[in-house]
Amino acid sequence: MFFASGFPALIYQIVWQRALFAIYGINIQAVTIVVSAFMLGLGLGSLTGGAISKVKRTSLIALFAAAELGTAMFGCVSLRLFRYVGETTAGSSLANTAVICFLLVLFPTMLMGATLPLLVEHLVRASHNVGISVSSLYFANTLGSGVACFLAAGLLMPTLGQTGSVLCAASINVLVALTAVAYRFHFGRRVSVPDLTFGSVPSRTTQNSSLLPMPLALFCAASAGFVALTYEILWYRLAAFAFEDTPSVFASLLGSYLIGLALGSRAVERYLSRGREGGNSVRRLSTIVLASSIVSFAVAPFFAIDLMYSHANGRDPATVVASALILLSICVAAAFFGVIFPLLAHVSIDPDKRPGASLSYIYAANILGSTVGTVLVGFVLMEHLSEYKITLLMLGVGIAVALAILPYGEELRPTARRSIALGVAAVVLVPALSRPMFSSLYDRILFKSAYPTRRFQEVIENRNGVIGVTPDGTVFGGGVYDGRFNIDLINDRNIIIRPYALSAFHPAPHRVLMIGLGSGSWAQVVANNPEVDDLTVVEINPGYLNLIPKYPSVAPVLHNRKVEIVIDDGRRWLISHPGEQFDAIVMNTTFHWRNHATNLLSVEFLRIARAHLKPGGILFYNATGSGDVMATGLAVFRYGFRFTSSLIVSDAPIVFDRDRWRRTLLHYAIDGKPVIEQADPQQMLRLEEIVGIPNDPNGRRLISVEDDEQLRNRLQHRTIITDDNMATEWRKQ
């Protein structure tokens, strides 16, 4: 039952977080708040479940069934509830967002958090062994969640979308609840059978007393949660950087991580079923914590070493093997974390003194540590420390926990002393030996076997992501191509023709909104358009503001009096500024298959943007080659036009005025320098080539155009992107 219960829990987490991100933004502040709200709810649920488990003559299985049924009922109405609340509270302040998110997910997360203490109390009444009960249940539930990650990425989200996935999860909850009721009626009060766990429990496994003081156990649980969550965040950043930031990358990493936790917990169950306990277990716990610290620290360098010897093309067999090895390394590191929690419960909880309640304290401490990790890493550490320094800090936390536990174990044997000495030596040597690898970590991870021929000239790490710039001025944001520092229309290396074409579609774009700053190239071009009087730029990652001043072609945009730059999520900013109206909204949107890309491509977002356009206003955005993206724009707006890889949509007829565009380009000057030197015959010929961009009704040539009728004929059978189906993300085109 607990294995099946892990399926919907993970699906809810993925879907609910996506739904809340669409409302409150995907900037790091909103993400941290949403994730923390989930964890706090689980922690309170754990304490509630522990308190209920103290009541004697309580049918714990019946309570478990009620929790599953309550979760299913909430799941069925959750997305509609989120949308309703979002319509009235979107754009709220950071503090209000935190309170709203917490209240929205409080009820279901408390129900989910209460289930583990209830079932632990039930099993301990039979086995009289906390470690085996916790490890068997933790193994089953976490394994279910891990399997659900791969199921969600490969089947549920691509085919059912958010609504269908949630209904599927609610159906599983109901099935688990009915199974629990049937189990309760079948066994009645007979809970003293010795084989309620995955294996038979011999009498010698009975645990007679606690060995580790509860305050120390709570500290260790919180520290373990803090370190485990921090590494999960760091490893995801590396995996996204290496393998393109897609939802499937996150699902694969999380699935591997959860399966590792499950296998580690299973190992504890097998260890304890052989009668290994007492001070020996405390010493083993200390050793595991130390080993976990070393193994987890080594994962990032392993990423780089593994990928350096694979091909850069993601379809090559060598890279497929490299990907599998990386997921395996995460699984192995997570397995150590999976050992810590049940083994810690085993050595600190007396089975005869309300084990469910005691377990709830340790579980809540673990979740609290994870929550602190989310907030501290999301708001502070990643803003001020590099990947290397954060991993060093986590290594130090692991050593501190291991040393705090060690005195409570039995006297060390000579072999144990030698093992600990080797461990300490490794702790000292590993950081020193791995520092050169960390200094070029992102270069090796992204360029793989092409390093050092291809490398980064500069890397900026902050809480919003990682930005790398190569010596030729190519920008990579989060490991994906993000443009170039280039505004040269004559020598066009980055299809910079697109922002120059704004005046071809709007006669007087006086007020413009740009979502996404990136390299600043588009902003520099639009800000210097002779017709533009005011340009507002909304950028989610302030790291670009540190890069742009170093490149003379775009640096002046930061001091242009026409330009106002706002650091925020673009969708959130639009929702929170309902009165703002623009002649044009411009977006050099990232690739349609990236994680959360549909937040700026869906029907729902386009309707939000539409409300901010003045009469005759246009939305000009990069479709990145996706027919679904263009079909979605045509479904929302009355008129559309394709210009190279970009789509222009409006509720007024779109006129591609080549003559007006030519006149504008001839008067275009950036920082006093003409874009087209009229005295240069070669540049004038190039101007005619640019303005004479050909029509291609089949959409096969990148540098071409298509009108509304041609687009609608070609794209009439494409999928329309919504917040619910996230069409281009889960099934990459």
Phi and psi for 607 in degrees, rounded to 5? -70, -35
Furthest-apart CA pair in the chain: how many Å? 96
Q: Looking at the predicted structure, is the pLDDT value of residue 610 above 80?
A: yes
Name the percent of the chain lying above pLDDT 90: 52
pLDDT digits (tens, 9 = 90+) for 301-328: 888 887 777 654 444 544 677 788 889 9
Q: What is the C-alpha separation between 578 and 583, in angstroms, rounded?
A: 15
Q: Which CATH superfamily is domain 2-439 in?
A: MFS general substrate transporter like domains (1.20.1250.20)
Q: What is the C-alpha separation between 482 and 591, in angstroms, rounded?
A: 9
In the numeric block, which tokens belong to residue 386?
């590099």
The class (CATH top level) of 496-730 is: alpha beta
Mean pLDDT of 274-290: 75
Q: Looking at the predicted structure, is the pLDDT value of residue 645 above 90?
A: yes
Between β-strands 563-567 and 534-539, what pairing exists: parallel, antiparallel or unpaired?
parallel
Looking at residue 608, its pLDDT comes to 96
State the sign of the Cα–Cα–Cα–Cα dihedral 308, 311, 316, 318.
negative
Q: What is the C-alpha separation between 373 and 227, in angstroms, rounded?
A: 7
pLDDT digits (tens, 9 = 90+) for 375-419: 888 888 888 898 899 998 998 899 889 888 888 876 555 555 565
Spatial contact of 243 and 314, defined as CB atoms under 8 Å apart:
yes
Phi and psi for 271 in degrees, rounded to 5? -65, -45
Determine the distance from the C-alpha atom of residue 637 to the mean position of all C-alpha atoms in its chain, rounded to a whole number.
31
Cα first-last separation, the chain: 37
Between β-strands 534-539 and 465-469, what pairing exists: parallel, antiparallel or unpaired?
unpaired
In the numeric block, which tokens belong to residue 187?
């066994």
Q: Domain residues of the chain, as ranges?
A: 2-439, 496-730
Looking at residue 508, its pLDDT comes to 95
pLDDT digits (tens, 9 = 90+) for 183-202: 888 776 554 444 444 444 44
**2-439 and 496-730 share one fold:** no
Q: What is the C-alpha separation between 135 and 267, in angstroms, rounded?
A: 8
- The model's confidence at residue 554, banded by pLDDT at 50, 70 and 90, is very high
- The model's confidence at residue 277, banded by pLDDT at 50, 70 and 90, is low
Looking at residue 199, its pLDDT comes to 44
User: Which 3 state secondary structure label does DSSP give 639?
Assistant: strand
| Closest among 723, 584, 629, 685 to 16, alpha carbons compared | 723
pLDDT digits (tens, 9 = 90+) for 445-501: 888 878 888 899 999 999 888 999 999 999 999 889 999 999 999 999 899 999 999
| Closest among 592, 615, 616, 101 to 605, alpha carbons compared | 592
Mean pLDDT of 342-347: 89
For the ranges 336-340, 416-420, 600-604, the lowest mean pLDDT is seen at 416-420
Strand order in the sheet with 465-469: 458-462, 465-469, 474-477, 480-484
